[in-house]
């Protein structure tokens, strides 16, 4: 299945979250990851994130799509995934 993951994390923890997400998904732009992932790996990703984030302060939204068939992806402006180094 296909996943889009966006996060809004306190600066103290954002590097850890970035490292975890990079193991499972592709960096798209600041605080946004996406990619194909199995249910088992998604479970692992969520487990690792839950160990790091502060549920009172941090937020991770995961959109899961069983198929990309009905979806479209457009970029206005710069495609940061191609040009920028992941910060």
Is residue 36 within the footprint of its own copies (CB under 8 A)? no
Q: Does 40 bind its own copies (CB under 8 A)?
A: no
Q: Contact with its own copies (CB under 8 A): which of 16, 32, 44, 86?
A: 32
CA angle 62, 71, 84 (to 5 degrees): 65
Please spell the DSSP secondary structure of 1-25, one letter per residue: -EEEEEEE--HHHHHHHHHHHHHHS
Total residues at interface with its own copies (CB under 8 A): 39
Looking at the DSSP assignment, which residues form a beta bridge with residue 70?
none
* Least distance to its own copies, CB of residue 77, Å: 4
8 is in an annotated binding site: yes
Identify whether the C-beta of residue 37 lies closer than 8 Å to the C-beta of residue 26: no
Give yes or no for residue 49 binding its own copies (CB under 8 A).
yes
Q: What is the largest CA-CA distance in the chain?
A: 38
Site for its own copies, rule CB under 8 A? 4, 6-8, 28-32, 46, 49-50, 53-67, 69-80
């Amino acid at each position: 299945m296909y996943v889009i993951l966006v996060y809004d994390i306190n600066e103290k923890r954002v590097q850890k979250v970035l490292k975890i997400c990079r193991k499972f998904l592709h960096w798209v732009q600041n605080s946004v990851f996406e990619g194909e992932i199995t249910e088992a790996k998604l479970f692992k990703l969520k487990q690792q994130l839950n160990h790091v984030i502060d549920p009172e302060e941090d937020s991770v939204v995961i959109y899961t799509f069983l198929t990309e068939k009905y979806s479209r992806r457009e970029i206005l402006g710069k495609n940061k995934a191609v040009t920028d180094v992941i910060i």
